[in-house]
């Protein structure tokens, strides 16, 4: 039995719960006989880093792929700031403020760091080739503005030294960082990160963790003219296998197993959840 005092405490906590930005409702996604997601509901709240964890093949990447329009779930609904975006195209999702990185880096490998980041800005460019050709002035001004934003992002992620290097020639950890630059160049409201530290050593992971926190909090003093760096993003969704990183960074954690959500809670709750320990944490601890 809960007494009036406890009830009031619970109600107060609910009242100050962070507002939902994205709501995934009862998503089901199948490929032929494989059910990748089964009736999964997840809310992404303002001002939170939400980690998605679970064993290999649990459906984590599929969840992100539904979120940004790469996959269309057979059942369920995705609401972004109240709008139904369940069948949205990926480029439209990016324009609306959902940007992501990929587990297996998806950059233009023949282009440089700078060119990759500038390519992301094309979703915002008002000038097309024709008007750009006729009215050189406005197109040029717009190009300069985009370039400034991209240069700030390159500075922030400490990749100036490779800004003119062709991506294919760079080491893996650096390419992961450039992917983050490209996602930031989309000025997301919600940043979706699919294993941003996979394959990195401890030092590289620490760098990325620091960038994630800085992106989340905003760096107004250093980058007053680049809104995404100045104000930070509203929420981050992070798929990550390194439990140390997850427990340190996440405000909340969602656990998937065989396409189903088996738990959701604070790092403390998840760490002590017997079902999560048997499905995932036990296994990762022995790896």
Ligand X SMILES: Nc1ncnc2c1ncn2[C@@H]1O[C@H](COP(=O)(O)OP(=O)(O)OP(=O)(O)O)[C@@H](O)[C@H]1O
Residues forming contacts to ligand X in the complex (CB under 6 A) are: 31, 34, 36, 54, 56-62, 103
Least Å from the CB of residue 282 to ligand X? 16
Least Å from the CB of residue 71 to ligand X? 7
CA distances from 176 to 50, 104, 207 (A): 20, 9, 12
51/150 with CB nearer ligand X: 51
95/103 with CB nearer ligand X: 103
Residue 45: its H or E element: strand 34-45
- Give, as one character, the DSSP assignment of residue 278: I
36/209 with CB nearer ligand X: 36
CA distances from 26 to 2, 3, 55, 77, 121 (A): 31, 34, 21, 7, 33
Least Å from the CB of residue 60 to ligand X? 4
**Tokens describing residue 199:** 């394959």
C-alpha span between 156 and 140 (Å, rounded): 24
Least Å from the CB of residue 259 to ligand X? 7
63/149 with CB nearer ligand X: 63
Q: Is the Cβ–Cβ distance between 246 and 53 less than 8 Å?
A: yes
């Amino acid at each position: 039995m809960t007494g009036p005092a406890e009830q009031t405490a619970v109600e107060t906590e609910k009242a100050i719960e962070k507002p939902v930005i994205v709501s995934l409702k009862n998503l089901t996604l199948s490929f032929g006989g494989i059910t990748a997601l089964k009736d999964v509901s997840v809310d992404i709240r303002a001002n939170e880093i939400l980690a998605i964890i679970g064993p290999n093949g649990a459906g984590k990447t599929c969840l992100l792929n539904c979120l940004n329009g790469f996959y269309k779930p057979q059942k369920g609904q995705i609401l972004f700031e109240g709008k139904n975006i369940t069948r949205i195209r990926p480029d439209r999702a990016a324009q609306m403020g959902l940007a992501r990185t990929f587990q297996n880096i998806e950059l233009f490998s023949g282009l440089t760091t700078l060119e990759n980041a500038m390519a992301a800005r094309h979703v915002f460019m008002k000038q097309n080739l024709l008007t750009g050709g006729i009215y050189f002035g406005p197109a040029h001004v717009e190009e300069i503005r985009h370039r400034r934003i991209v240069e700030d992002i390159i500075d922030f992620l400490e990749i100036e030294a490779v800004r003119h290097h062709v991506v294919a020639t760079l080491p893996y950890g650096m390419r992961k960082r450039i992917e983050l630059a490209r996602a930031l160049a989309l000025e997301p409201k919600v940043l979706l990160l699919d294993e941003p530290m996979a394959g990195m050593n401890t030092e590289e992971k620490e760098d990325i963790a620091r960038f994630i926190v800085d992106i989340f909090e905003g760096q107004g003093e250093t980058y007053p003219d680049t809104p995404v760096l100045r104000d930070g993003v509203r929420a981050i969704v992070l798929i990550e296998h390194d439990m140390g990183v997850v427990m340190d960074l996440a405000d909340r954690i969602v656990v998937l197993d065989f396409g189903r959500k088996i738990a959701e809670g604070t790092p403390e709750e998840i760490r002590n959840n017997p079902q999560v320990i048997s499905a995932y944490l036990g296994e990762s601890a022995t790896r």
